[in-house]
Structure 1
């Protein structure tokens, strides 16, 4: 007589608790180690979506979402009979009444998410300055790094944060002797830097080594686009200054 071993099923109640109670730890437990999350919305459009790979980077994203003062409601959830796919609808509301509707498609392995694609539609997006993204896109802004919204320091460097156009822009100032794997890794708690970067290099020289062994130097006037999985360090005696349009949201913060 043969027996059929049942496949672990996706935990809908954990998903509900994570979403509706803003429990990032519960949500993190739903993802496989090699999971990939893709988000498409008005800022990250289909031709250049926001892609996040690995549980560490996904965890940072979930910490940010769950840390926002907003209500979340899990709507309809559908799981395929064989447990290999799922989909769900999520409704969110900011304190000012702004609504967000999100639908997510999941590929599952042993009850855990391996790939997720989420499509989000907004009434208006509220930024940390209280300005909606719709208004930020149509109103002039004149901002200055001499008065950043936040400054995060770490050995041999700092990142200065400003909120602009509905997003976050950072200025990295890295002194001679700075190296990510020595000075930021203890805060991030990951083997490699998992923050993707889109940077303009203002001054100094920084050497970048990707996880696959690729290595190159970035100098003043260069633009770098770096996916997750890299180390970097300052070369020479001149401080490195770089403007970062993508990777500054949690850079230099201690991992939860």
Structure 2
């Protein structure tokens, strides 16, 4: 059900529903303004450090990756009121796992300028063994010198990061994340390579293959040497 009260260009909620339920990334992207922002809160991105994408160059690949997943999408309800809209969505994976989300939209001239989504996943049974495979990650992001792959295992999030030589958070990630320093709490096992970290207060250190590290939020980090850093991270707040 949709209601419309805006006096400017009308936001097309029916086009939104069609795009989502058909997993049509191009049709969905056409509803966004070029300078739009997309914000996500879930078990991996906590309210204190949400995932934020700025502009179409960041939003488009994330949208295409989302709609490429093997799952169905259903818009349960959509309401438009002036320069704001809201909708709820249910996604179902082939194994029956469900994800439900609530999204708020800020509108300008009938297009989305800000999207804020909160989503919840089915908890996997804790009494049965569960195997994850990063080659089929539920969320994957590719950057010039980094790749992030995230999946749910036993109701918890695991993230594999591959960081190429020359990678530095403040140079490669700050713009897309919208913060000066990394605001994620990391708890990671280093598979290969060496990483240097530096806290906002000047505290710094290094971690190398075979070591486990916990790094609080508000830090910078960069790859040491010519070997890529590969690590598996379990967010501290996801426990």
**What CA distance in whole angstroms lies between the structure 2 residues aligned with 1:157 and 1:37?**
21
Choose which of 194, 215, 222 in structure 2 pairs with 1:223: 215
**What CA distance in whole angstroms lies between the structure 1 residues aligned with 2:134 and 2:189?**
21
Q: Does 2:154 match 1:169?
A: no
TM-superposition CA deviations, 1:103-154 (whole Å, max 9, x none): 32222222222333334455x3xxxxxxxx422x4445688xxxx6439999
Segments of structure 1 that go 5 or more residues without pairing to the other structure are 1-5, 125-132, 209-214, 247-256
Corresponding residue for 2:38?
36
Q: Does 2:236 match 1:234?
A: no
Segments of structure 2 that go 5 or more residues without pairing to the other structure are 1-6, 208-212
Deviation at 1:76, TM superposition (A): 2.9
**TM-score, normalising length: structure 1:** 0.57
After superposition, residues 145-164 of structure 1 pair within 5 angstroms as: 149-150=134-135, 164=153
Whichever of the two has the greater Rg, that structure is 1
**What CA distance in whole angstroms lies between the structure 2 residues aligned with 1:140 and 1:155?**
36
Q: Is the 8 A contact 1:30 1:112 kept in 2?
A: yes
Deviation at 1:20, TM superposition (A): 1.1
Distance of aligned partners of 1:112 and 1:198 in 2 relative to their CA distance in 1, 3 Å threshold: farther
**What CA distance in whole angstroms lies between the structure 2 residues aligned with 1:76 and 1:114?**
20
Corresponding residue for 1:116?
115
Deviation at 1:21, TM superposition (A): 0.8
After superposition, residues 1-256 of structure 1 pair within 5 angstroms as: 7-32=8-33, 33-40=35-42, 43=43, 47-48=47-48, 50-55=50-55, 56-80=57-81, 83-122=82-121, 124=122, 133-135=123-125, 137-139=126-128, 149-150=134-135, 164-166=153-155, 167-172=157-162, 174=164, 178-180=165-167, 192=175, 194=177, 198-199=185-186, 200=188, 202=190, 204-206=194-196, 219-220=206-207, 221=213, 223=215, 225=217, 233-236=222-225, 240-245=229-234
**What CA distance in whole angstroms lies between the structure 1 residues aligned with 2:65 and 2:71?**
12
Q: Secondary structure at the match of 2:124?
A: helix
Q: Secondary structure at the match of 1:134?
A: coil
Q: Is the 8 A contact 1:201 1:218 kept in 2?
A: no
Distance of aligned partners of 1:218 and 1:22 in 2 relative to their CA distance in 1, 3 Å threshold: farther
Aligned residues: 208
**What CA distance in whole angstroms lies between the structure 2 residues aligned with 1:107 and 1:157?**
31
